[in-house]
Amino acid sequence: MLQLIAMYFSQPFVWFAMIVLVLVSLCAALLGTSLVLKRFSMIGDGLSHVAFGATSIAAATSLAPMAVTTPVTVVAAVLLLRLNNNSKIKGDSAIAMISSGALALGYLVLNLFPGGSSNISGDACTTLFGSASILGLTKTDVATCIILAFAVIFFFIFFYNKIFAITFDESFASATGTKAEIYNSLLAMTTGVVIVIAMKMVGALLISALIIFPALSSMRVFKSFRSVIISSVCISLFCSVVGGISSMLAGTPVGPTVVAFNIAVFIIFWAIDCFKGARKSSAPEKA
């Protein structure tokens, strides 16, 4: 097995694919903690459906997918946030309306305007669930993903204090002069960018799992914001590397394989949390 892994990693395109997968997982983990704590995690799911619809339009019009999907998803992120905060259509209703509508229109466009593709079902499946192989990336995809990923990482590091403030007490942050609405919009837009760069490999329907699972796993064991973020990053990187290698060895789709490892880690952390709770409850009380 080690010889087979060494053979795979002797190829440059395997390294490129793993670099993209690691960067995508890192970005998703960094944003996941804030999104889960702010109850914005379902925005990621809604934006993934929007990204599918935008990709379908790009395929039908023979345009570059990134050039169409990125601005459409970013605009949708701001729109979802505004609907969630200011409209009578709030919360899960707004997300369900936009995500289901985008998903339906995307598949309809693929069927009406196939753009020369003879395998519409295969194209839709790849977009929704990611490439069947970890190696299904072009050099342009890799370069674009690396640039966008570093932009996301820079945003999180540079605005870490602001993100911390709006995550835990948005009202207090606004009272102290922080423009919470602007930073919420930036957070939603950055989430949209992460979804776009992850969609090719992980798939539109599975990227939200990479955002949610590491944060939820970490919250079962760790309590401080910083420790949860660090733990989320470690979990996400571990699952992406092990899942990516496993997908190559087993010939399974990379997205579902990585998500399966995230589910396994969540179960382990949940068991640790339950065990710690049981020990505390069984400990004798001091007189």
User: Across the 287 residues of the chain, what is the mean pLDDT of every consecutive 10-residue run?
Assistant: 72 78 88 84 78 80 77 83 63 73 80 62 62 63 81 88 84 78 83 80 77 91 90 93 86 85 94 80 54
Q: Half-sphere exposure (CA, 13 Å, Cβ side) for 179?
A: 4
* Residues whose CB is less than 8 angstroms from the CB of residue 118 and which lie 6 or more positions away in sequence, other chains included: none
Q: Which pLDDT score is estimated for 238?
A: 94
**DSSP string covering 235-287:** HHHHHHHHHHHHHHHHT--HHHHHHHHHHHHHHHHHHHHHHHHHHHHHSPPP-
Q: Which pLDDT score is estimated for 116?
A: 54
Q: Which pLDDT score is estimated for 287?
A: 44
Which of 152, 144, 201 is CA-nearest to residue 31? 152
Helix (H) or strand (E) holding 33, with range, is: helix 12-37
Taking the CA atoms of the chain, what radius of gyration do you get in angstroms?
20
Kindly report the CATH number that applies to the domain delimited by 2-281. Answer: 1.10.3470.10
Q: Which pLDDT score is estimated for 63?
A: 75
Q: Which pLDDT score is estimated for 285?
A: 53
Does this model's pTM top 0.85? My answer is no
Distance CA 119, CA 65 (A): 17
Which of 49, 45, 44 is CA-nearest to residue 106? 49
